[in-house]
Chain A
Amino acid sequence: MTEATDPAVLETTIRAAIVVVSALCVFCSYRVIRGPTDPDRVVALDAIATNVVAIAVLFAIQTDRGLFLTVSLVLAIIAFIATVAVAKFVTEGEVIE
């Protein structure tokens, strides 16, 4: 019996997780808009990027398409490069000298 119900439970769980993580992205955007300082905004954008990576992985699990794992890896790389670039820009005024 559990073998019959388990795929539906898995499907529902993944779907709910995607909804929850998307809502977390919206809540993080509050800190992006209202953040008192610039590093607050960078931290919030970093959290949003990590949430988007999680959404891509959850989408890969839901649709059973492993291609989206590569998509999530590329998103993680872009988020890291963006964080480092903004940190360098805030302190030194230029990214590539």
Chain B
Amino acid sequence: MIRATLVIALVLVGVFFLTVGTIGLLRLPNVYNRMHATSKPTTLGTAAIFLAAFVQFGPGGEGLTALVGAVFLFLTVPTGAHMIARAAERIGVPFLGSVTWPDASQLAREEEPRADAERGAERDAERQPGTGPGPDPAADED
């Protein structure tokens, strides 16, 4: 009885968070904003559904599988979002407005020093005719 109520509540919370994540994926304007919208609420929603499965199956073998799944999601989804964000920055998807990469020296350090100058130059050339609002972050990164 209590178990069924708890399962229903957790499933409703999970579906709510999954819906929020999908609305953000459809409505937000930029790759980085969409990633922000999908990674966190989707993780929370699926973890809530995993917890519902843990409540349903009890702390035996299968419930432990559910807990392992929730822990695995909390480990892997931020890692994947981080890698996609880094890949999007590398291939030159522009930031929105005055947004910059959090640590600009981090970007410069992990490139080879000779490729850095020409890469920054070509990124400037890409951004100048583009969306306009941010010539300043490109100048800051150099």
**A87:B18 contact, CB within 8 angstroms:** no
Q: Which residues of B contact A (CB under 8 A)?
A: 1, 4-5, 7-8, 11-12, 14-15, 18-19, 21-22, 25-26, 31, 34-35, 38-39, 42-43, 45-46, 49-50, 52-53, 56-57, 61-63, 65-66, 68-69, 72-73, 76-77, 79-81, 83-88, 90-91, 93
**Given that A40-B34, A83-B83 are contacting pairs, would A47 and B25 also be in contact in the complex, using a CB cutoff of 8 Å?**
yes
Question: Total number of A-B contacts with CB less than 8 angstroms?
Answer: 162
The chain A residue with its CB closest to the CB of B83 is: A87
If A38-B91, A51-B22 are given as contacts, then 7 extra A-B residue pairs at C-beta distance below 8 Å, sorted by A number, are A6-B1, A13-B12, A24-B19, A40-B34, A50-B43, A54-B45, A83-B80
**A54:B80 contact, CB within 8 angstroms:** no
Report, nearest first, the 5 A-B pairs whose CB atoms are least far apart: A66-B62, A83-B80, A39-B88, A87-B83, A80-B76
For chain A, give the interface size range.
35 or more
A73 contacts chain B at the CB level, 8 A cutoff: yes
- How does the 8 Å CB contact mask read for A1-13 relative to B, with 1 for contact and 0 for none? 0110011011001
**B72:A76 contact, CB within 8 angstroms:** yes
The chain B residue with its CB closest to the CB of A30 is: B26
Contact of A91 among B12, B22, B43, B87 (CB under 8 A): B87
Bound state CA distance, A35 and B91, in angstroms?
15
Contact of A31 among B26, B52, B76, B85 (CB under 8 A): B26
Q: Which residues of A contact B (CB under 8 A)?
A: 2-3, 6-7, 9-10, 13-14, 17, 20-21, 24, 27-28, 30-31, 37-40, 42-44, 46-47, 50-51, 53-54, 57-58, 60-61, 64, 66, 69-70, 72-73, 76-77, 79-80, 83-84, 86-88, 90-91
Q: Is the interface of A mostly helix, strand, loop or mixed?
A: helix
Please name all residues of chain B whose beta carbon is closer than 8 Å to the beta carbon of A43 when the two chains form the complex.
25, 31, 34-35, 38, 81, 84
Please name all residues of chain A whose beta carbon is closer than 8 Å to the beta carbon of B87 when the two chains form the complex.
39, 42, 87-88, 90-91
Bound state CA distance, A47 and B86, in angstroms?
18
**A61:B52 contact, CB within 8 angstroms:** yes
**A21:B15 contact, CB within 8 angstroms:** yes
Please name all residues of chain B whose beta carbon is closer than 8 Å to the beta carbon of A70 when the two chains form the complex.
65
**B31:A54 contact, CB within 8 angstroms:** no
